[in-house]
Amino acid sequence: MSYSDLKSDGGMDPRERELIGYIEHESGFKPLYAPPRGNIVTQAFIHCKYCRCAIYHCMGPCYDAVCLMCHEIETEGK
């Protein structure tokens, strides 16, 4: 896999972006990253669908978001 394959939207290397949680899909969990600096985002919180804690202060709503702690608990048993 080349560096250009790793580039995400916004032109940032995903390895430099902050992992803030996961989005639960039927096929499994997909990472949820903080927005790149300078992006325009909605000013609505993202809350965890299990414990209702605040995951991030913007980019919401996101109804299938899971916080890092709940993700760890969910994947521990599998």
Measure Cα distances from 3 to 10, 62, 76 in Å.
Answer: 15, 29, 31
Calculate Rg over the CA atoms of the chain: 13
Show the low-confidence residues of the chain (pLDDT under 50): 1-9
Q: pTM of the predicted model, to two decimals?
A: 0.74
pLDDT for the residue 71: 95
* Interatomic CA distance for residues 22 and 1, integer angstroms: 23
